[in-house]
Amino acid sequence: MNITIRDKASIDFASLPKDRLLAMQKAADDMIGVLQEAAQQDKHILIDVLGSTSPDPFTMWRHYPPGDVRDKKKGAVWFYHAHSEDKEARPWTEHGHFHLFVYTEHVADGVEPIALPPEPDFENGGLCHLVAISFDHSGTPIRVFTTNRWVAAEWQYPAEEVIRLLDYFDLDNEEYALTTRWLKAALQLFRPQIEWSLIERDKAIEVMRRQDPEGFSEDTSVEALSSFEFDLGSQIDGIENALAADE
């Protein structure tokens, strides 16, 4: 299936409400604070996760940490992994990526899914995928992307609902608390681009649905549906310039 990955999120920071800009600014401060705290503790938000199976070598498809980081009470899940690179399905080079989820119990009543797993467990529900965050081989975040349903075995819902669910990404886990805090900050800091990417994801899904109404969500030739560059410096500059212009 031929799908063009939308990867140019053009955000007009000046058009964003001031409260949104301030929330994004706080998220940037939180993210930097996490990195400083991690350095002081001789930790790393990614290396510590990869070390969860030490001394075993890093293995493609394996979830890190084993069993994922889950909090059923608060309603979120994340894990890190890598798989073989396909330049057509995911046209950038990476070491691996975090997948971020929210349990479907937080989905609003009456919202119809785009696509479900082949054998959904309606009694227990499942997971709704938010976004994935790619890291390069130096441990630096480089890109945020959305995926086709099969990639994360998710219960896939429309962008409008997934955008609402971004606020439910929260969990308690002492061992990986720094990584969780960083991921939460990333969702808030890049919220405008994430909302854009989810809307673009749905546009791509509609194209796929027209081409293959029955199998679009399970087409393993299509992995990423939209993406944008993780550029911390430019994001902070955009926020600060918009806030300064508002004074």
Query: Residue type at 26?
Result: K
Structural domain contains residue 80: yes
Query: In terms of DSSP bridges, do strands 127-135 and 96-103 run parallel, antiparallel, or are they unpaired?
Result: antiparallel
pTM score over 0.85: yes
Structural domain contains residue 134: yes
Structural domain contains residue 1: no
Q: Convert the pLDDT of each residue in 195-215 to its tens digit.
A: 999 999 999 999 999 999 999
Nearest residue to 25 (alpha-carbon basis) of 242, 246, 171: 242
pLDDT of residue 68: 95
Structural domain contains residue 4: no
Nearest residue to 106 (alpha-carbon basis) of 153, 170, 197: 170
Name the stretches of the chain with pLDDT < 50: none
Q: How far is it, in rounded angstroms, from Cα 245 to Cα 190?
A: 20
CB 177 within 8 A of CB 111: no
pLDDT of residue 22: 97
pLDDT of residue 90: 60
Structural domain contains residue 116: yes
For residue 147, the enclosing domain spans 18-242
SS (H, E, C) 168-185: HCCCCCCCCHHHHHHHHH
Q: How many domains does the chain have?
A: 1
Structural domain contains residue 8: no
Please state the separation of Cα 196 from the chain's center in Å: 13
Structural domain contains residue 111: yes
With H, G, I as helix, E, B as strand and everything else as coil, classify residue 205.
Answer: helix
Mean pLDDT of the chain: 91
Cα dihedral sign, 233-236-240-242: positive
Structural domain contains residue 158: yes
Please state the separation of Cα 49 from the chain's center in Å: 17
Give the residues across from 127 on adjacent strands: 103
